[in-house]
Amino acid sequence: MNWLEIGQLDDIPPLGARTINTDNGNIAVFRTGEDEVFALDDRCPHKNGPLSQGIVHDRRVTCPLHNWVISLETGEAGGADMGCTRKYPAKVENGLVYISISKKGGNLEQPEEPIEAIL
């Protein structure tokens, strides 16, 4: 798996998110209160609401549009809601955040074109 450095952990507020622009759309990178990081497509599976603008709690985010609760670990909607958004591997090493992304589908790998991080 190829990892792409996207910025420092401190660039993401605790219980918040930042977005990364890619050719395949925006990816939301979330930080929990325990400094864990998770990355999901920045689209709620319900009505494509911007998950990066939602409320992070535990290992979940609540969509700001219709209050769907999405697992940061799996990308799946919780409760009676059904749907899933794509997740990406993410990690923190020495205070730096890394994710692994691919073009469309297939194995996760670093894209050919660099991505612009908005952290």
Domain boundaries, the chain: 4-118
- The position carrying tokens 């999405």 is 70
- What kind of architecture, by CATH, is found in domain 4-118? 3-layer Sandwich (2.102)
Q: State the pTM of this model.
A: 0.84
Q: Per-residue pLDDT tens for 38-58?
A: 999 999 999 999 999 999 999
Q: Report DSSP state, residue 91.
A: E
Instruction: For 43-77, give the DSSP string.
Output: S-TTT---GGGSEEETTEEE-TTT--EEETTT-BB
In this structure, are residues 31 and 83 in contact, taking their beta carbons and an 8 Å threshold?
no
Q: Per-residue pLDDT tens for 18-36?
A: 999 988 799 999 999 999 9
What CA–CA distance (Å, rounded) separates 23 from 95? 26
